Amino acid sequence: MENASKALIMAAEILVGVMIISIGVYLFNTLGQYSADTAQDMEQAQIDSFNEQFLKYYGMSAAEGEELSPIKSTMHDIVGLANLAAKINAQNGFTEIEPVSDNSSYIQIDVKIGTKTYKNLESYSQDELVNLVKNYSIVYSKDSTGNTVAETKYYKVPEQPTIGKYTKLVNYVKFVEI
């Protein structure tokens, strides 16, 4: 009888040990999954924050009581975005223009003014960008009395900016004259 009670005690100890190990493995897996989910959420937040810098120029908006219209951008906005793209491209080690692709993080900015398309603004020199601002920021017209009137020229992003399939980052934005 004494051997049987010792055997039961040993079996109980083994069972308790297995339960403790099982609880440890369960907690390890649960906390590991929570950690992985948190890391994934943080990465997605960084991607969303990055993309928002470019996506804020796309879409429709309306002031109270007005109809929906495309979000308006000025040439200053476009040049600022081109400078941002150039900075990001330099940080990512790009020294030459790259074609837009699903697995590249190179960012390209284009603008179509009338029938002419200015491609790869991110590669333009500061002097070239200043000339774009000088030439395409303001449009002059005559009012009903014959006086010259200056108005700000606006641009829109007609199609959603391209987001790389693998990078999940914006890599192409095209503006057109409104």
38-76 pLDDT per residue, tens: 889 999 999 999 999 999 999 988 777 778 889 999 999
**pLDDT tens-digit series, residues 90-147:** 999 999 999 998 888 999 999 999 999 999 999 999 999 999 999 999 988 888 888 8
Q: How far is residue 71's CA from residue 56's CA, in Å, rounded to a whole number? A: 8
Q: Report how many domains make up the chain.
A: 1
User: Which strand (E) or helix (H) includes residue 163?
Assistant: strand 162-163
Would 11 be classed as within a structural domain? no
Indicate the pTM of the whole model.
Answer: 0.78
Would 69 be classed as within a structural domain? yes
Would 23 be classed as within a structural domain? no
Q: How far is residue 59's CA from residue 24's CA, in Å, rounded to a whole number? A: 50
Would 161 be classed as within a structural domain? yes
CB neighbours of 135 closer than 8 A, spacing ≥ 6? none
Would 162 be classed as within a structural domain? yes
